[in-house]
Amino acid sequence: MKINEIPKNAYVIKNGNVLPIEDLREQWEDIDVCERYGWYIAEKERLRVNAEDVIAKIIYDMDCDGYEDMEAILWDQIAQDDIDRVQNVLDSIFDIESADVYYQTNKKIDVI
């Protein structure tokens, strides 16, 4: 794919370094041809914290200091609505750019 064909809101990646495509476009003419090799379109994913995992960790910690069968009893008494509410709070807290990760796709940027 030619660099000018890439959408303006895209990100690119090379050796784990991620840049907005617009930054790379600004530098492109000044970059040595050999250095242009190895850039790919990046795919963005926002990581999500799972409420059940968080609750499981809390229950585990409580169980370590608690009583026999505490883990099973706690899980039995936690309603799905409660888990859903925790998930909504976690989604709200972590709906931020710093929770984004970028993966290299197989779409290579054409050098010439």
**Over the stretch 8-17, which tens digit does the pLDDT of each residue have?**
999 999 999 9
pLDDT at 2 over 90: yes
| Domain containing residue 81 | 49-93
Q: What is the pLDDT of residue 105?
A: 97
How much is the CA Rg of the chain, to the nearest whole Å?
Answer: 22
Angle between helices 70-77 and 51-65 (to 10 degrees): 140
Do 34 and 55 fall within a single domain?
Answer: no
The rounded distance, in Å, linking the Cα atoms of 49 and 91 is 7
Structure token pair of residue 40: 């790919």
3-class secondary-structure state, position 24? helix
Do 43 and 53 fall within a single domain?
Answer: no
pLDDT at 112 over 90: no
The rounded distance, in Å, linking the Cα atoms of 4 and 109 is 10
Do 38 and 63 fall within a single domain?
Answer: no
Do 9 and 24 fall within a single domain?
Answer: yes
Do 31 and 69 fall within a single domain?
Answer: no
Q: Is the pTM of this model over 0.85?
A: no
Do 38 and 56 fall within a single domain?
Answer: no
pLDDT digits (tens, 9 = 90+) for 32-76: 999 999 999 999 999 999 999 999 999 999 999 999 999 999 999
Structure token pair of residue 3: 């660099």
Do 66 and 87 fall within a single domain?
Answer: yes
51, 86 contact by CB (below 8 A): yes
111, 5 contact by CB (below 8 A): no
Do 42 and 3 fall within a single domain?
Answer: yes
Do 5 and 23 fall within a single domain?
Answer: yes
Do 33 and 20 fall within a single domain?
Answer: yes
Token look-up 């690119």 returns 12
19, 11 contact by CB (below 8 A): yes
Domain count, the chain: 2
